[in-house]
Amino acid sequence: MKLDSIDRHILRELQRDAQITNVELARRVNLSPSPCLARVRALQEMGVILRQVTLLDPRQLNLGLNVFIHVTLERQVEHSLDTFEATITRFAQVMECYLMTGDADYLLRVVVSDVDALQSFIVDKLTRIPGIASIRSSVSLKQVKYETALPLTDPT
């Protein structure tokens, strides 16, 4: 898939504000509205644009505790991986889950209201998943940087 500089400009603008009108987007990327809309639709059809979302402030919703949890499985076999992944995707507290290299098999980013909610999540949900050997968690003290926009640079 080859994206030109206009496509990348469109994507940068949409990552900043997905609610921008097509007319304003076209103005910012120096296109007329009709070709701009055609490009956006093409980017959607190609799967470059997955979906549009609204970002919320977790603190305003009493979800200010960000926790990173390292999970190690007893055995790293396909059935265990599939079971863990199918189960973990059902938990709303899990914002991100990655299969990792290194000491732990998975890294989770979990958002909860407080330490009691974290304890409840670990004890009542996480430890009940079959095949888990160990769980290590680290509580985030401060969010230094948070970006949702991917870095889009024009190829040189």
Q: Where are the domains of the chain?
A: 5-45, 58-139
What was the pLDDT predicted at 76? 87
Beta-carbon neighbour count of residue 84 at 10 Å?
A: 22
Nearest one of 97, 112, 105, 110 to 71, comparing CA atoms: 105
Residue in the structure block whose two tokens are 């299969």: 99
Ramachandran angles phi, psi of 14, nearest 5° = -70, -30
Element (DSSP H or E) covering residue 110: strand 106-112
Degrees (nearest 5) of the Cα angle 28, 3, 30? 20
CATH C-level class of 5-45: mainly alpha
What was the pLDDT predicted at 68? 98
DSSP β-bridge partners for residue 97 = 108
Q: Which residues of the chain have pLDDT under 50?
A: none
What was the pLDDT predicted at 145? 96
**Architecture category of domain 58-139 in CATH:** 2-Layer Sandwich (3.30)
Q: Are 94 and 121 in contact (CB under 8 A)?
A: no
Note whether 5-45 and 58-139 share their fold. Answer: no
What was the pLDDT predicted at 153? 83
**Three-state secondary structure readout of 9-33:** HHHHHHHHCCCCCHHHHHHHCCCCH
Q: Residue 36: CB partners within 8 Å, gap ≥ 6?
A: 10, 22, 25, 26, 29
What was the pLDDT predicted at 35? 97
What was the pLDDT predicted at 156? 58
